[in-house]
Structure 1
Amino acid sequence: MKVVAECYPCLQKLVRQAAELATGEMPARERAVAAGLKVLEDNFSLDRVSIVIAGKLHETVKKKAGNPDPYRAMKQQEIAMAREIYSELAPTPGGDFRACLEFAALGNSIDFFRPLEEVKADMGRRVEFVIDDSAAFASRLPRAGRILYLADNAGECFFDLPLVKYLEQFAPVTYAVKEEPVQNDLTRADLEEAGLASAFRRVITTGSATPGIDMEQASEEFMEEFGRADLVVAKGMGYYESLSELPPQGRIFYCLMAKCPPVAASLGVPLRSFVAMLR
């Protein structure tokens, strides 16, 4: 998905947010913001993919602020809240497909900055997919030999687990996390902190530190796994923004909430719609 003009102020906000989280020292923060905004100005073009630009912004802010993981505290909060929600509300791992899929999608919708009780209340709402290819995806499972599951935010690992266990009844599932910290995306270290490192049978990294996936930076291991997978579950907007640039393959299953107007417009759905789309 290419950027649109509406993405520019959002990316400016991203620079300021990352810098604020990266350091409390105002001179360092101001340098990080200035450097990030300059990178944005130099790289913003309507023929560029949004996540590639965002990756450059995060890299710049981290270096200028001297903090390799600005979102660490946020991720710890996400993990703690998600663990509690999982213990109370999760469907049986490996149980009903629809329940597991809806739980995974709910994980992508959560705003972990809100009070825990409000988040729990939201978990009781019904997930209605505006685009719903879940039946087509499920019909492909008996013939799948390998499944690749692309993880999104740190707290979502708890919401992914029941669906991953369901998928493992049909084929080996490889769970892909980020190589290094970027935004609040899940890394191997975050997975270990959540206590779920051994819950997923095979974990690899993308080899890069960009939101979604920049294929030019991805590791050989990831590219091999991506190429060999019969089905790819792609959680979150970042993977839609990046993988939608590829020709339709009929094997990528996007599971997300469309949280921003450009993504919603690209998908052709109302803002904050749930999507379960096979392309």
Structure 2
Amino acid sequence: MKVKPECFVCFVSQAIRATEIISKKDEDAIRALKNVSEVLSRLSYDVAPPLISEFVYGSITKTLDHDDPYSEIKNKYNKIAIAYIKNLKDYINNSEDKLQAAINISVAGNIIDFGSQIEKFNIKETISKAINEGFLVNDIKDFKEKINKAKILLFLADNAGEIVFDKLLLETIKSLYPNLDIYIALRGKPIINDVTKNDIEGLGLEDIGTIIESTKPTPGFWPDYCDEKCKKIYNSAEIIVSKGQGNFETLSEFDDDRVFFLFIIKCSVVEGYLKKPKYSHIFAKKSSLC
């Protein structure tokens, strides 16, 4: 999925929000946004949107000398998400199809996203929708067939807060498929509220699978931006769960039926690209979507 004109609204909105977190001074905001404008004017746009966000965010953090503006917000939303865990575990454990139930919960967490949406979000309402309405597109049958044969599963994580919901899915997968090797890919460096190693401290993800990282700070997984270890796992995994809209925006550039996209459509560009309504819940391969 390539950059569209509407993406510029998102790039500038990301810049404004990050700048407001770092400094309340108008002169700082203007200085940062002028630099962002210069960066945007020099870039090529025949790429996926998250590959542009790297430069937008990098310009802001360099200008205002702060490499992780969302650090406190990420910690806050991890704590908010943890408060839901007991009830969500009960829901999964009491479900006839535990895997589908855990996928329902995981997608609800994708609403915790400060990159793709300006308006406020409601976690409780999103959980209710995920449980009661399910998915617009759901490739669960094919997913079960593939995971039964797989030896390696790669989970491409998205945001802090959201990762707490994802942990329930990963725990469920580990319980149902104990011989499966699970790898969990995080962002190598901070960008927006995407999850890094610093953001998972105390969550126990390392008890479920092996933690790996991408290298560049892009809010979407891009194979060429991985180190050799990450690339090797990406290439050898028989099944990949790509969590979040940012990862969809990048990996939709490839035709790869190993990849199951799990996300909520949260912007008009993705809505138009997929020709599916905003806020639809998706669990599908690209071949089922495009």
TM over 0.5: yes
- The equivalent of 1:220 in structure 2 is 228
Question: Does 1:82 pair with 2:86?
Answer: no
- Decide which of 142, 145, 155 is 2:148's aligned counterpart: 142
Letter in 2 for 1:60: S
Report the Cα offset of residue 86 of structure 1: 1.5
Match of 1:97 in 2: 99
Contact 1:208 1:219 in 2 (8 A): no
Between stretches 76-85 and 94-103, larger displacement belongs to 94-103
CA distance in 2 between partners of 1:136 and 1:199 (Å) = 27
Q: Where does 1:56-205 land on structure 2 (aligned, <5 Å)?
A: 56-90=55-89, 91-92=92-93, 96-110=98-112, 119-125=123-129, 126-168=132-174, 169-170=176-177, 171-192=180-201, 194-205=202-213
Asked whether the 8 Å contact 2:111–2:126 carries over to 1, the reply is no
Gaps of 5+ in 1: none
Helix, strand or coil at the partner of 2:136: strand
Tell me, in whole angstroms, the C-alpha distance in 2 between the residues paired with 1:215 and 1:195: 26
The residue correspondences of 1:258-269 to structure 2 (distance < 5 A) are 258-269=265-276
- Partner Cα separation in structure 2 for residue 119 and residue 143 of structure 1: 34
Amino acid corresponding to residue 134 of structure 2 in structure 1:
E
Residues 30-78 of structure 1: CA deviation (Å, up to 9, x unaligned): 2222111211222253x22211111111111111110010111211221
CA distance in 1, matches of 2:27, 2:3: 31
Cα drift, residue 222 of structure 1:
1.2
- Asked whether the equivalents of residues 129 and 275 of structure 1 are also in contact (C-alpha less than 8 Å), the reply is yes
Count of residues in correspondence between the two structures:
274
Which sections of structure 2, spanning at least 5 residues, go unmatched? none
Alpha carbon RMSD of aligned pairs, Å?
2.2
1:250 alignment partner, SS class: coil
Q: 1:188-243 deviations in whole A, cap 9, x for unaligned?
A: 11000x53344432111112211012333222211111001000000001111000
Larger mean Cα displacement after TM superposition, 227-236 or 202-211: 202-211
C-alpha distance 226-240 of structure 1, shift in aligned 2 (>3 A): same
State the partner residue of 1:249: 256
**Alignment-mate amino acid for residue 149 of structure 1:** F
Amino acid paired to 1:73: E
Q: Is the 8 A contact 1:151 1:235 kept in 2?
A: yes
SS at match of 1:129: coil
266-275 or 194-203, which deviates more: 194-203
Report SS of the residue matched to 1:124.
helix
Task: Kindly indicate whether residue 216 of structure 2 is the aligned counterpart of residue 208 of structure 1.
Answer: yes
User: What code does the residue aligned with 2:128 have?
Assistant: G
CA distance in 2, matches of 1:93, 1:20: 43
